[in-house]
Chain A
Amino acid sequence: MKYTIIENRHLTGATWLMRLRGDTSGITRPGQFVNVAVDGCFLRRPISICDWDDSTILLAYDVVGEGTEKMSKMLPPQELDILCPLGNGFDISVPTERPVLLGGGIGTAPLYGLAKALMDKGIRPAVVLGFASKERAVLHDLFVDLGLPVYMATVDGSLGTKGFVTDAYKEAGLDADYFYACGPSPMLRALCDTMPISGQLSLETRMACGFGVCACCAIKTTNGPAGVCKKGPVFRKEELIWE
């Protein structure tokens, strides 16, 4: 499907924000993603949906390689070929009164759409975000603007708790009854090892198709092999098998 760039701006560090106009009617849950065709790159680039409304999608992405570098150079009103939406997204029907959202780096992006969806249900999550440094901290102001309690961790201690998301979560002394998380694999694994409560985690792997036919992104789960793109990217903590 065709989507038109209406905004593409640098936030801070490696992070960019792109807003596109196009069909959003297929998006059913926060935490779904899009697969973006980039001219000059053979494979599409999977990017999580940060936020959406009835005619636009907001993507937050880090420039990490050739594809996202090319994306950062794109200008409105360029038209992009995008598969949208892909993946299962977060299940917000789980009964929870005091959920916590745990985001690491650019993994914070899909948690914004999730926070808004939870608030629409009358649930106010706490938000704990971790970044490499103050300069690399992104999107936290969006959660502050929603009026949510936001706790920060930076690896170098330049903002909030020195350490990781897990450290800031402990220090905040939150009495959470459920967690939703997205971030780098080591962070997600640490959460699975240390969180005493149940939760859902959005994974990131290298993908080819993005819609479940090539098996390039499959992981082991308690329900057998599962493509992160189709059966995920969101999995329940209890489903994941870490090796």
Chain B
Amino acid sequence: MGMNRDLQVSLGSLTLKNPVIPASGCFGFGYVMAPYYDLNTLGAISVKGTTLDARFGNPLPRVAECPSGMINSVGLMNPGVDKVISDELPKLRDVYNGPIIANISGFSVDEYCETCRRMDGQPQVDILELNVSCPNVHGGGMAFGTSAENIAKVTSAVKKCTRTPLFVKLSPNVTDIVEMARAAEDAGADGLVCANTFLGMRIDLKTKRPVVANVMGGFSGPAVFPMALRMVYQVSRAVNIPVIGCGGVMSADDILEMMLAGAKAVEVGTANLLDPMACYNIVRELPAAMERYGIDSLSSIKPI
């Protein structure tokens, strides 16, 4: 049997025991999932998007169901960076000793810098994930991620005030994601996450009103996998920094597909919301999937 296949991957200077990373916003601050399985099974954990100040986020309803996916308009609900550092990360550390990815969002370059600077001082944070792609807040998030100039500005500013490896989480809601990826790389990003949710909406035919109170939201789930995969393929060929694939991944096969497209590791988002065991099952099923397709080690996968 192929149960001793090599799942280890490297992500820049970091080594992960496997490529499976719960995506930000789909795993809380991690510890809430500890009753379901040993979190040390995971390659890394990307925790809930964090801003300088506490945010409640958008009004309810914040979710709309779609065929093969869902729209969320949570709007970066989080207790603020200081509480995340003092309350949330220690609770995660109590149950998990692997790499932690801190996902940071903001509404100005200064705010991104200040939040990243505070996270940068935390020894338990292994990667800063710069969220320039949240579709659910106005004047921040995606407003940065849809302009190469703004991506360059915020990336280089954060690089100047931090030492932790910086990965920029790109927005798919752009004409040319390669241009955005190059802007981040040129500005000093150590890696990329490709990509965040797709802007979408639903209308309730009974009420003739948008289903989510914020009208539009981020579309995710298996329906977006082909588009995310295509973006990972385009971006990873165009840059020399590692790319984390993200978007609609539901299975071990999807992980392999993402890695063949050029991803060094893979974030799993919406799948966690449907089944709390999703990431655990994907890690467990990886060796059999690798055997099925004749892959001995994940780090040796040559992108197509």
Contacts and interface: CB of A to CB of B under 8 A. Distances in A.
B63 A218 contact: no
Nearest to B60: A205
A41 B62 CA distance: 18
**Dominant secondary structure at the B interface:** loop
B66 A42 contact: yes
A212 B28 contact: yes
A211 B32 contact: yes
A227 to B, nearest CB: 9
Interface stretch (B95-103, B117-125, B254-262, B272-280): B272-280
Given A216-B74, A225-B77, A83 B276 contact: yes
B74 A220 contact: no
B271 to A, nearest CB: 11
B69 to A, nearest CB: 6
A218 B77 contact: yes
Contacts of B273: 43, 208-209, 213-214
A102 interface: no
B224 to A, nearest CB: 12
A115 interface: no
Nearest to A41: B65
A213 B26 contact: yes
Interface residues of A, number: 24
Please indicate which of the listed interface residues A209, A217, A220 has the most CB atoms of chain B within 10 Å of its own CB. A209
Interface in B43-88: 48, 54, 56-57, 60-63, 65-70, 72, 74, 77, 79
B110 to A, nearest CB: 25
Given A213-B26, A216-B72, A42 B60 contact: no
Interface in A17-49: 37, 41-44
Given A42-B68, A212-B32, A206 B56 contact: no
B130 to A, nearest CB: 20
B33 interface: yes
Contact of B32 (A205, A213, A219): A213
A208 B26 CA distance: 10
B69 A42 contact: yes
Given A44-B274, A220-B56, A214 B61 contact: no
Given A206-B60, A208-B273, A230-B32, A215 B77 contact: yes
Interface string A37-71: 10001111000000000000000000000000000
B67 A42 contact: yes
A197 to B, nearest CB: 28
Given A42-B69, A209-B272, A225-B77, A216 B56 contact: no
B135 interface: no
A64 to B, nearest CB: 10
B28 A213 contact: yes
A207 interface: yes
Contacts of B32: 211-213, 230
A213 B27 contact: yes
The 6 closest A-B CB pairs, nearest first, are A209-B273, A216-B63, A213-B28, A206-B61, A216-B62, A215-B77
